[in-house]
Amino acid sequence: MAGYEAQKAALEELGVAIYAAAVDDEEKTREVAKDLSFPVAHGVSREDADRIGAWWDGRRNYIQPSEFLLDGGGRVLSATYSTGPIGRLDADDVLSLVKILNARRKPKAD
């Protein structure tokens, strides 16, 4: 999440808001998020993981990385799911993707 904090200003310039969530309880989440300036929810449950189609590791009882880029209307522009610790969407990649998507937008007619 530190990478997203480092790119937060650049992402905000492009109209991107950052939100995160964790399975940890409120106390642990506050500790993890203490240096972050974007919201981090706590207490993600198996039911939450099922709602978004994420893979829940039942042996260790937590959700694997699931990351989404949504447009202003909530439509999924990009989704990344993992079944293990590898596969996180890097903040630099999100910045590049948003720039590409913005460049592809058709200009509005006057």
28, part of any domain: yes
Instruction: Let me know if residue 69 belongs to a domain.
Output: yes
18 — pLDDT class (breaks 50, 70, 90): very high
Q: Is residue 109 part of a domain?
A: no
- pLDDT of 84-110, one tens digit each? 777 788 899 999 999 999 999 877 665
Residue 110 lies in a domain: no
Q: Which domain holds residue 60?
A: 2-103
Token pair for residue 17?
Answer: 């808001």
User: Is residue 87 assigned to a domain?
Assistant: yes
DSSP state of 68: E
The residue with tokens 């969530």 is 21
What is the residue whose two structure tokens read 């940890």? 24
Q: What is the pLDDT of residues 50-78, one digit of tens each?
A: 998 888 888 888 888 889 999 889 899 99
Determine the Cα–Cα distance for residues 77 and 55; give it in Å rounded to an integer: 20
Number of structural domains (the chain) is 1
- Looking at residue 16, which CATH number applies to its domain? 3.40.30.10
Separation CA 92–CA 7 (nearest Å): 7
